[in-house]
Structure 1
Amino acid sequence: MRRPHGTDAALGPLFTGGWAKGVPAISGFRIKVIGTRGRGGALRWLCPVSGLAWLSGCNTHQSALAPFGAEADALRSLLILLLIGAVLLAAGLFWLMRRAVTSAEGAITHQQGMRMVLWLGGVFPTILLGGLLVYSLPMMKPAPVGPADLRIRVDAQQFWWRTQYRTPGGPIEGANELRLPVGRTVSLELTAGDVIHSFWVPGLAGKMDMIPGRVTNLVVRAEKPGHYRGVCTEFCGLSHALMAFDVVAMPPAAFDAWLAAQARPAQTEAGAGAQLFASYGCGACHSIRGTTQAGTIGPDLTHFGSRRTLAAGILEPTTQNIARFIRHPEATKPGVRMPAFPQMREAEATAIARYLQGLK
């Protein structure tokens, strides 16, 4: 049988009679094995070292590898366990391949080879994967929720978040911010008002879809105070990537005090900013409790001045940013439903911005 032209350097002769230079003849050809010395050996070490360097750059406010919730911590433990299982399977496969390549012809009998395939290719993976399955199944069971546990409704909109804290005194509405008491079980009632969204706070729990007309429950428990970040992980329109929210985990006493303050109406002064807010019709969409502004289409602005970010976690709430967003919201968030006010003078937008900053 004729040998292909130009393959002498890399391919051995056809039907070499079994093994040549420790390499099996596969499909009639002998494979050329490239050594790992020198540059190849350096690359073997460079890849894992560089990988560790990349991991060290991960943030802690939006990372599943830096959990602050019980559910996310359990998911990270499961990830590590699955990774160990994958490494063991890969190591077994590597050992089997190396044994097949380096063993002399006839080193093992056909019966021994079949036994090796049975144990390493069937029994061992079945036991390992079965153990991982048994370990992970209890994690799929939702955590129990008691009658006294806090319930928060989260309603996703294009491209912002409406929050509603269910309290004995009535619901308390907010926007683009989620506050949680550390150490307490919280049931998040997730839904959407327009298209499908997805709720994910990487350090708190796994993600869950938010479907219009349907409420899904995600039970969480924050275990470490701090400031974190959540995002929408289901493409929902032009500004999907600009739809985030702040997550603040607070000690229980601080959370109770904050929630009591949020229940009170806004402390406002009837200045130029308030008058302009009303004259431009902002109250048709936005509500400020304690005033005549009672719109429900857009975010509640009652305590806007106490929020950490503007435009759903995108901008710092400075006077300049607020004024610019009021006049041209589409410049920051394409596809946003808030109308632009190009006819509004900068001085008027600034006055409204300062009025909003005083709502704490």
Structure 2
Amino acid sequence: MRCVANVPGRLTAVGRVRAPRRLRALLIPVFLSAGCSGPLSALDPAGPGAARIERLWWILFWIATIVFAAVVGLILYSLRHGRRDLTPDIDKDEAQWGDRFIAVVGVVIPVLILLGGFIYSLGEMNALATHDDEGPALDIEVVSHNWWWEVRYPNGAVTANEIHIPTGERIRLTLTTADVIHSFWVPRLQAKMDHVPGSENQMWIEADEPGIYRGQCAEFCGLQHAHMAFFVEAESPEDFDRWYENAASSASTPSDGSARRGLDVFLSSSCVGCHAIEGTEAAATAGPDLTHLAARETLFAGKLVNTRANLERLIVDPQGIKPGVGMPPTELDSGELEALLDYLESLD
């Protein structure tokens, strides 16, 4: 059955909905600009490092656009003014532009563009790698694991999958790995850098404004590579100082009866074999430090929002949430599970 094809939005003869041409033309810039913003867009910088990357990207983009337009223009010119006589007679007169044009357009200009772009890129790369001569405001160690991030501060604070920094300050990160190669990348703050087994890499990050900036492992590292996210939380210096002091403190002793029982459940179950809670007997390092678990926004390296229901899912069936992760299921009866959840929710 054939349908009317001339009415905008109606079915065409092949049965598909066709948008008006004017509407499609208006949608083109929308699609082209879709990658210019978002939590993982390097074209929406929130710090001086990412601003350099964005500036370099736009410079190369416009150079490429101009070159593309020039090439298309020459092609169109040749199609319009080229030979239409297909006879074997060859015009041996000297070309209108000659060898000089070929040499300039085909050799000199490309060499100048590539050389200029290379020299400018080297300068930007050096600026991205250079640390502040006066020294960073803070040194933070980031250890990558399959598939989560351990974050260690100079005052002894340890957290997981969240990096707190003060705004307006250059922070030095020391990157190591506990297993395979990973890559640390916060697109809105800095370029990526690898965590390489047996070595340390260093980089700096800085955020201009308070906010939460998503990061991601950018080197394929196994089954759950895509679910190995982290968050950089940039705070005002005053807010950061308060967080920094609290993060180094030990977990408070639970006052609630159910939470006290939950601590006993934690120390007598498989949890104590992998996790540490400062101020208790739990001191294992195979899994994330849980001293201030309740203060975190997410669980499982950004896989889940930190809610009681998700925490229960994580304890009971971690493989169902993140197959291949090193965390085994914890077998508890309903009373023990509720008590454990009460205790973990008190760790702020």
Alignment of 1:223-262 (within 5 A): 223-262=208-247
Q: Which position in structure 2 is the counterpart of 1:136?
A: 121
Whether the 8 Å CA contact 1:246–1:308 is kept in 2: the answer is no
Between 1:310-319 and 1:92-101, the stretch displaced more is 92-101
Q: Which position in structure 2 is the counterpart of 1:84?
A: 62
- Deviation track 1:50-70 (CA, whole Å, cap 9, x = no partner) reads 253363476532221211121
1:91–1:348 CA distance, 2 compared to 1 (3 A): same
Q: Which structure 1 residue ranges, 5 or more long, are not aligned?
A: 1-38
Aligned counterpart in structure 2 of residue 152 of structure 1, from 140, 150, 156: 140
Instruction: Specify the SS of the correspondent of 1:271.
Output: helix
Letter in 1 for 2:222: G
| Counterpart-to-counterpart distance in 2, 1:224 and 1:258 | 17
Whether the 8 Å CA contact 2:140–2:174 is kept in 1: the answer is yes
| Counterpart-to-counterpart distance in 1, 2:82 and 2:41 | 49
Instruction: Specify the SS of the correspondent of 2:299.
Output: coil
Matched, 1:205 2:190: yes
Deviation at 1:215, TM superposition (A): 0.7
Between 1:326-335 and 1:104-113, the stretch displaced more is 104-113
Q: Which position in structure 1 is the counterpart of 2:263?
A: 274
TM-score, structure 1 normalization? 0.81
Q: Which structure 2 residue ranges, 5 or more long, are not aligned?
A: 1-17, 84-90
1:83–1:148 CA distance, 2 compared to 1 (3 A): closer
Matched, 1:162 2:150: yes
Q: Which position in structure 1 is the counterpart of 2:347?
A: 359
| Counterpart-to-counterpart distance in 1, 2:82 and 2:178 | 68
Letter in 2 for 1:144: H
Matched, 1:292 2:281: yes
| Counterpart-to-counterpart distance in 1, 2:141 and 2:342 | 30
| Counterpart-to-counterpart distance in 1, 2:203 and 2:37 | 24
Deviation at 1:47, TM superposition (A): 6.8
| Counterpart-to-counterpart distance in 2, 1:109 and 1:259 | 77
Deviation at 1:331, TM superposition (A): 0.8
Matched, 1:52 2:40: no
Whether the 8 Å CA contact 1:92–1:120 is kept in 2: the answer is no
Deviation at 1:298, TM superposition (A): 1.0
Q: Cα RMSD (Å) of the superposition? A: 2.3
| Counterpart-to-counterpart distance in 2, 1:153 and 1:159 | 17
| Counterpart-to-counterpart distance in 1, 2:284 and 2:93 | 80
| Counterpart-to-counterpart distance in 2, 1:318 and 1:193 | 28
Deviation at 1:147, TM superposition (A): 3.8
Letter in 2 for 1:66: D
1:276–1:125 CA distance, 2 compared to 1 (3 A): same
Q: Which position in structure 1 is the counterpart of 2:10?
A: none
Instruction: Specify the SS of the correspondent of 2:305.
Output: coil
Deviation at 1:284, TM superposition (A): 2.1
1:196–1:54 CA distance, 2 compared to 1 (3 A): same
Instruction: Specify the SS of the correspondent of 2:208.
Output: coil
| Counterpart-to-counterpart distance in 1, 2:190 and 2:141 | 16
Letter in 1 for 2:319: E
| Counterpart-to-counterpart distance in 2, 1:110 and 1:261 | 78
% identical aligned pairs: 38
Letter in 1 for 2:71: L
Whether the 8 Å CA contact 2:142–2:176 is kept in 1: the answer is yes
| Counterpart-to-counterpart distance in 1, 2:203 and 2:136 | 16
- Deviation track 1:300-338 (CA, whole Å, cap 9, x = no partner) reads 111111000011111111111101111111111111111
| Counterpart-to-counterpart distance in 1, 2:248 and 2:93 | 78
1:130–1:58 CA distance, 2 compared to 1 (3 A): closer
TM-score, structure 2 normalization? 0.84
1:231–1:47 CA distance, 2 compared to 1 (3 A): farther
